[in-house]
Amino acid sequence: MLGPNFMEGQALAAAANTETDPFEIPLPEEESSICFGWICQALHCQSTTMLWNPTSAEIVKVWSIIDKYDMKQSMQLSVMFWSNNILSKTCHSKDLWLIALVCLHSKDSTSYKTATRQLLWAERSFLASASEIEKLVKNSMLEQYLYRLTAKLQEVRADAQRKAVKLVYMVLPYLVGSNNCGTETTAYFDYLIELTYESGDGIYFLGPEEPLSRIDDALSELGNWLSLHGTVHGGSCENCTVVHGELREEISKAHVINGLCLGCFEGDNTCPEHKK
């Protein structure tokens, strides 16, 4: 910050030509804050990082200062620690968004995956939430990532819902009907109607604003039904007993949401798991 590209550095250079005694260079008003103080403490002694529990908004402020004064290498571990500390507790949607954006910019892939997984799991309208978060990151370097992240979250949710539809309405019914048991086939579709329309508003685990936790709930309920129905019907139908085992296996292999991959999001093809 005392370099020639910053106001403070220019003030230092100007004073050096006129002052012979020590003099004070005031920090910009918006940065004379607790955030800047903790950055200085962490730079002086890394272990002081653990003494502060910043809010997500304070972490955003800290990262903006770090980015402005090019302190990423020296402060990245501190920011990772603070971000992980927030994610280790129950988080509000706003906190998840802010931490996801900071982790994206700071390349903290682990916390980024955790934050985005929680957003996918519980968030309803990504666009509505993003419009609120925009007010908190406006004119910062994080703003450029906000709607890219929103679009990616929506894409991943739609893909997971598509796979759930294929499982519930194609794969499982095919297995149910493969043993030619009319009782079993009828019972499955009767329960499927009861399960998927239980809210009265359509298939409750689908839709552009349905959290992915709904899919997990639906598959869990379906698994419970198989256990109960298998006890009642399977005892008198050996083929259905075998099919129930296959159904449970397919349900157990259902797509698991682990959060977004940082390498894939950035399109740098560095992710070994998803590299094409």
For residue 99, is pLDDT > 90?
yes
Contact predicate 79/111, CB 8 Å: no
Tens digits of residue pLDDT in 155-181: 999 999 999 889 988 888 888 777 777
Q: What per-residue confidence (pLDDT) applies to 143?
A: 92
Q: Average pLDDT for residues 29-52, to the nearest whole number?
A: 80
* Higher pLDDT pick, 104 / 140: 104
70-85 core/surface letters (b: 16 or more CB in 10 A; e: else): ebeeebeebbbebbeb
CA distance 176 to 182: 9
Side chain identity at residue 92, one-letter code: H
The answer to whether 124 and 214 are in contact (CB under 8 A) is no
d(CA 98, CA 134): 10
Burial class (CB in 10 A: 0-12, 13-18, 19+), 9: middle
Q: What pTM was estimated for this model as a whole? A: 0.81
Contact 106, 76 (CB under 8 A): yes
**Nearest one of 115, 132, 221, 127 to 168, comparing CA atoms:** 221
Radius of gyration, CA atoms only, the chain: 26
φ and ψ at 25, to 5 degrees? -110, 110
pLDDT tens readout for residues 209-262: 888 988 888 888 888 887 776 656 655 566 677 777 788 888 888 867 789 988
Tokens, residue 158: 């739609």
The percent of residues above 70 in pLDDT, for the chain, comes to 75
Report domain extents, the chain. 27-146, 154-252
Q: How many CA atoms lie within 13 A of 240 on its CB side?
A: 21
